[in-house]
Structure 1
Amino acid sequence: MGGLQVDLEDDLENSLPKLAGLGAVVCFDLGADGQWTVDARTRQPRLIRDGDLDPACTIKISAENLVKLMAGRMDPMLGYTLGKIKVQGSMGVAMKLVSALG
């Protein structure tokens, strides 16, 4: 899993500029693989491992599926429909996130 975590961290870091207009805190809950929080309330979003910020939206997804999502190999709506992606909190923020990641 170590290599997957490194790839995932790189993918998330590389996506931060796209999230500058999000205006919210989003948590990616990877279950046993921990959490990544994106604080996109400022012009320069930051990535926090296992952060303690209060997210507007929490995305529950496996690390493997998040890598696929970030690489464009998983359709977010299909993933949600199939239960591979679960959203807690603001669905509006989740939709903005999907649009920003394009």
Structure 2
Amino acid sequence: MTIDQIEAQMKARALNFVGLGALVKFDLGGGDVLFIDGRATPPTVGRQGAAPDTTLTISGDNLMKLADGKLAPTLAFMTGKLKVSGNMGIALKLANMLED
């Protein structure tokens, strides 16, 4: 899956991130990054962002599995498919939003 496809799918789900209240960076590897700005109304998804509150390192394929409910966030974290740096509380809140 390309970064363009991932970005399009995350933009389609942007309203799921209402109430996040934080800027989250997804480091997809290979220099590809996506940001979810949950501070904006409505939330935005893009490739540009300031200093994030939380950074999640995950492959694009695994990100889409998380978003589609095919990979549990806790399992991804415990198996090393997802790494979190920054505010863990925001990561947990985002995980709940992705699961809905």
Give TM-score, length-normalised by structure 2.
0.91
Instruction: Report if the CA contact (8 A) 1:15-1:101 is conserved.
Output: no
Residues 9-36 of structure 1: CA distance to partner in whole angstroms, max 9, x if unpaired?
2221122101010000000001105100
Match of 2:57 among 40, 56, 60: 60
Please tell me whether residue 78 in structure 1 is matched to residue 83 in structure 2. no
Give the aligned residue type for 2:51.
D
Aligned-pair identity in percent equals 36
| Secondary structure of the structure 2 residue equivalent to 1:13 | helix
Q: Where is the helix percentage greater, Structure 1 or Structure 2?
A: 1
Point out where structure 1 has 5 or more consecutive residues left out of the alignment: none
RMSD value, Cα: 1.3
Q: Is the 8 A contact 2:69 2:98 kept in 1?
A: no
Query: Please, what TM-score do these two structures have when normalized by structure 1?
Result: 0.89
Partners of 2:54 and 2:87 within 8 A in 1: yes
1:25 is matched by which residue type in structure 2? L
Task: Indicate if the aligned counterparts of 1:38 and 1:47 stay in contact, CA closer than 8 A.
Answer: yes
Q: Any stretches of 5+ residues in structure 2 without a counterpart?
A: none
1:8 aligned onto 2:6: yes
Q: Distance in 1 between matches of 2:46 and 2:4?
A: 14
The number of equivalent residue pairs is: 99
* Maintained 8 Å contact 1:26/1:57: yes
- Structure 1: 4+ residue segments shifted above 4 A: none
